[in-house]
């Protein structure tokens, strides 16, 4: 019993240290993963959040958002199909936020507030990120979403879809969060962690478990 407890505690502390964003592809600090792009700051959260003077009002796509697009907010080509019940809109909130890096145009260091330990952000290329800090390859979804799982649509009531659990003003499907009742990129992905499954997934893809959390198939 005692040795089981020790094993459980050890496993618990291991998963705790593996749970964070540090040492994942979303760690753009000087401590980034070997071979991945990095910058000259030791800060990790600053690439997405700031404690003060963050984006305000509608530009605050997610809590305390510290990013902006390189130019105007892009216009996206949306997924459509004859069998779809919901209506995807132009990406909102926890989807639009992703495109401030994954659009393939905006550099990872295009921040509202620069971290206090550097005068300006400089980049070292790596992975799919070039020397200007811009994503390419499979990481750059671009603005054509017609071949991607739909996002920014209200989760419909439909035969073949699990019914969401509503608690107060929030809802989730089998623990996968909906944002104002919508499916967003962050419904399937947790940008902060690979602890459940890479790449930043909120449920495992073994036996397509992620998919069957929402789809009764």
Binding residues (CB under 6 A) for ligand HEC: these are: 21, 25-26, 36-37, 44-45, 47-49, 62-63, 67, 81, 83-86, 94-95, 97-98, 100-102, 108, 127-129, 135, 138-139, 141, 148-151, 155-156, 158, 161, 173, 176, 183, 185-192, 198-201, 205, 210-211, 213-215
Give min distance, CB of 173 to ligand HEC, in A: 5
CA geometry: angle 28, 31, 33, nearest 5 deg: 75
Give min distance, CB of 10 to ligand HEC, in A: 24
Instruction: Tell which residue, 107, 106, 109, has the closest CA to residue 40.
Output: 109
Nearer to ligand HEC, 3 or 147 (CB): 147
Give min distance, CB of 134 to ligand HEC, in A: 9
Residue nearest ligand HEC, CB atom distance:
127
Nearer to ligand HEC, 1 or 29 (CB): 29
Contacts of 105 (CB under 8 A, 6+ apart): 69, 70, 71, 74, 134
Nearer to ligand HEC, 7 or 141 (CB): 141
Give min distance, CB of 152 to ligand HEC, in A: 8
Rounded-to-integer distance, Cα 108 and Cα 148, Å:
22
Instruction: Tell which residue, 11, 128, 113, has the closest CA to residue 52.
Output: 113
Nearer to ligand HEC, 14 or 149 (CB): 149
Contact predicate 5/101, CB 8 Å: no
Nearer to ligand HEC, 3 or 81 (CB): 81
What are the C-alpha distances in Å from 88 to residues 112, 140, 156, 170, 211? 29, 20, 11, 20, 18
Give min distance, CB of 72 to ligand HEC, in A: 18
Rounded-to-integer distance, Cα 86 and Cα 71, Å:
30
Give min distance, CB of 211 to ligand HEC, in A: 3
Nearer to ligand HEC, 6 or 160 (CB): 160
Rounded-to-integer distance, Cα 90 and Cα 204, Å:
28
Contact predicate 88/151, CB 8 Å: yes
Handedness of CA 31, 188, 50, 102 (dihedral sign): positive
């Amino acid at each position: 019993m005692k040795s089981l407890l020790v094993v459980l505690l050890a496993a618990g502390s291991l998963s705790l240290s593996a749970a964070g964003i540090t040492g994942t592809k979303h760690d753009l600090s000087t401590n980034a993963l070997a071979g991945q792009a990095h910058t000259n700051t030791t800060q990790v959260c600053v690439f997405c959040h700031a404690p003060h003077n963050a984006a305000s009002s509608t530009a605050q796509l997610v809590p305390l958002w510290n990013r902006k697009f390189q130019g105007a907010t892009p216009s996206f080509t949306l997924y459509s199909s004859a069998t779809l019940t919901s209506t995807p809109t132009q990406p909102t909130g926890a989807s639009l936020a992703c495109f401030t890096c994954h659009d393939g145009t905006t550099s990872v260091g295009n921040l509202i507030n620069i971290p206090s330990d550097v005068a300006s952000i400089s980049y070292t290329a790596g992975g799919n990120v070039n020397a200007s800090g811009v994503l390419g390859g499979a990481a750059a979804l671009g603005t054509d979403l017609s071949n991607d799982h739909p996002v920014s649509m209200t989760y419909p009531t439909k035969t073949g879809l699990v019914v969401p659990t509503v608690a107060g003003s929030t809802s989730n499907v089998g623990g996968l969060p909906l944002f104002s009742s919508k499916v967003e990129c962050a419904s399937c992905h947790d940008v902060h962690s690979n602890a459940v499954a890479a790449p930043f997934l909120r449920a495992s893809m073994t036996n397509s478990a992620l998919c069957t959390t929402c789809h009764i198939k």
